[in-house]
Amino acid sequence: MEVRPHLVYRHDRDSQLKITQSCNGMSSIRAGDAFDLIEELEDHSVDLIATSPPYWGLRDYGMAHDESVLEQWRSTGCEDTRVPHYDWYRSAGGRLGREPFPTWYVAHLVEFFNKARPVLKDSASMWVNLGDTYFARWGSIRDGGRQGLASSRGRRRTPSGGYLHDKQLLMIPARFAIAMQDAGWILRNDLIWAKPQVLPRPEKDRLRLSHEHWFHFVLKQKAGRPQYYYDLNSCEPGGLDVVTCPTEPGSSGHSATFPSQLIRPRILSSCPPSGVLLDPFCGTGRAVVEAVRGGRTGIGFELCEPFARVASKAISAAAKSSSTGQDSTALAPAQRRKKAASE
């Protein structure tokens, strides 16, 4: 696949500037909005999307968000129950993950993944990682910490009403998965990522959230049952849909980083050798790095320029050590066992 230079939006969205892009063979990180960058990929060019979009209402990744977006929407005469397209929302100063309602957030995610559908090969898979959150009219926005402590906090303003009620667990991952099914995606697994250690919480009237979801979607075929690449031997021993895995510290200030141990089996099982992985919300690039280490081509999109730079450096380093043959962690579990036995 050709990797083309491109223009991206800077944070103020008014000026379009060329910014850094790194290429290792064909692996690359592109800084910009995934909703724009996805249009640059060729149709039927990607084997696997593995990603974790910003969760709803949890953190800001250092990006400005205009809290007046709902008032702006109302001033156009639209009801809160109608969802603006992402383009309108963005031009009104909105950020993905900071939508005033979970319905808007879910609709924007589905809008993105539908936009991404043409770039997927018919045999492709998509793994989407999402976590849940509780409703609070004045919820905290964090700039750090996967459910962890923040170095600074903002406040999210969410109108209550209906199921949006204080203390409500919002079931956002489930709402997303059902909306994707309604949009024509086939859900193959709801893998539960169980986190053995989570930070203490002050609440005394509920259990602590200690799991997230990994949804595995595939495509409907023009005729017949879905058919897609899958190598069960590269999954965790036992092949169960609950995987216990500790969180991993993030790099360079990014705290919502995939644990390598969890993303690697998703890549090796769902992206063929030499295939192409795309992480459209790649942060500091953990999935892209694991793809490169596993002999796949990795492409990452990231809106936040500093994270994109870190990801670029990380894939350069991964490409270097893979080409020098130093890296055996990228091998599938079965291959690793074989290699260890022969040593």
- The total of other beta-carbon atoms located within 10 Å of residue 52's CB is 23
* Beta strands per DSSP E along the chain: 8-9, 16-17, 21-24, 27-31, 46-51, 120-130, 138-142, 153-157, 186-194, 211-218, 242-244, 276-279, 297-302
- 188 binds ligand SAM per the rule CB under 6 A: no
- 60 binds ligand SAM per the rule CB under 6 A: no
- 236 binds ligand SAM per the rule CB under 6 A: no
Which of 3, 31, 44, 27 minimizes the C-alpha distance to 290?
A: 27
The footprint of ligand SAM on this chain (CB under 6 A) covers a number of residues equal to 22
According to CB under 6 A, which one of 8, 130, 172, 256 is a site residue for ligand SAM? 256
Instruction: For residue 290, give the H/E element and its range.
Output: helix 286-293
- 301 binds ligand SAM per the rule CB under 6 A: yes
Cα separation, 213 vs 223, whole angstroms: 30
Structure tokens at 287: 């999935």
Of residues 34 and 218, the one with the C-beta less far from ligand SAM: 34
Residue whose entry in the numeric block shows the structure tokens 């670029």: 312
Cβ 301 vs Cβ 280: under 8 Å: yes
227 burial level (CB within 10 Å; 0-12, 13-18, 19+): exposed
According to CB under 6 A, which one of 8, 29, 34, 119 is a site residue for ligand SAM? 34
In sequence order, the β-bridge partners of residue 261 are none
DSSP letter (8 states) at residue 251 = S
According to CB under 6 A, which one of 30, 195, 266, 286 is a site residue for ligand SAM? 286
- Selected range binding ligand SAM among 38-46, 119-127, 198-206, 277-285, rule: CB under 6 A: 277-285
The Cα-based distances of 212 to 54, 82, 174, 216, 262 in angstroms read 13, 28, 11, 13, 12
According to CB under 6 A, which one of 303, 318, 319, 331 is a site residue for ligand SAM? 303
- 254 binds ligand SAM per the rule CB under 6 A: yes
- 125 binds ligand SAM per the rule CB under 6 A: no
According to CB under 6 A, which one of 33, 47, 212, 290 is a site residue for ligand SAM? 33
Rounded to the nearest whole angstrom, what is the least distance from the CB of residue 189 to ligand SAM in the complex?
Answer: 19
Of residues 29 and 123, the one with the C-beta less far from ligand SAM: 29
Rounded to the nearest whole angstrom, what is the least distance from the CB of residue 24 to ligand SAM in the complex?
Answer: 18
According to CB under 6 A, which one of 113, 158, 258, 267 is a site residue for ligand SAM? 258
Of residues 233 and 252, the one with the C-beta less far from ligand SAM: 252
The SS3 assignment for 297 reads strand
Task: Name the residue with the smallest CB distance to ligand SAM.
Answer: 283
CA angle, residues 75, 142, 176, in degrees to nearest 5: 65
Rounded to the nearest whole angstrom, what is the least distance from the CB of residue 214 to ligand SAM in the complex?
Answer: 12
- 89 binds ligand SAM per the rule CB under 6 A: no
- 284 binds ligand SAM per the rule CB under 6 A: yes
Rounded to the nearest whole angstrom, what is the least distance from the CB of residue 282 to ligand SAM in the complex?
Answer: 6
- 52 binds ligand SAM per the rule CB under 6 A: yes
Cα separation, 304 vs 8, whole angstroms: 11
Q: Which residues bind ligand SAM (CB under 6 A)?
A: 33-35, 52-54, 61, 96, 254, 256-258, 281-284, 286, 301-304, 307
